[in-house]
Amino acid sequence: DVKVTQSSRYLVKRTGEKVFLECVQDMDHENMFWYRQDPGLGLRLIYFSYDVKMKEKGDIPEGYSVSREKKERFSLILESASTNQTSMYLCGGSHDTGELFFGEGSRLTVL
């Protein structure tokens, strides 16, 4: 069964802490994405990667960075977490056919 797996379903962090959100896929996807999902705002793209070590900013990259050292892994980093980064974070992957497969999400609360 193919999967996109996010390492943490729920995290609680304090303001100023560094946060790593990990995403691993076993579908050999070329493309991987990080979104955040907030009520009323839908999905907003943070960053995406179309190849190893390649990354592109999405709509709301401020306060975030990403790393893709291996094809199967795409990490989202919050260098200094803030309360407005409390959200649901969704990782997704796709082949060039366009269909996007999502992980289950990581709900981050920043206190």
> CB–CB of 18/78 below 8 Å?
yes
Task: Map the footprint of another protein across residues 61-90, applying CB under 8 A.
Answer: none
By CB under 8 A, residue 97 contacts another protein = yes
What are the tokens at 69?
């050292």
Q: In what helix (H) or strand (E) does residue 65 lie, and over which residues does it extend?
A: strand 65-70
| Residue number with CB closer to another protein (26 or 51) | 51
Q: Which stretch binds another protein (CB under 8 A): 1-9, 44-52, 69-77, 80-88?
A: 44-52
| Residue number with CB closer to another protein (74 or 81) | 74
CA dihedral 57, 58, 61, 65 (to 10 degrees): -50
Query: What's phi and psi for 42, nearest 5 deg?
Result: 70, -150
| Contact set with another protein (CB under 8 A) | 30-31, 33, 35, 42-43, 45, 48, 50, 58, 94, 96-98, 100
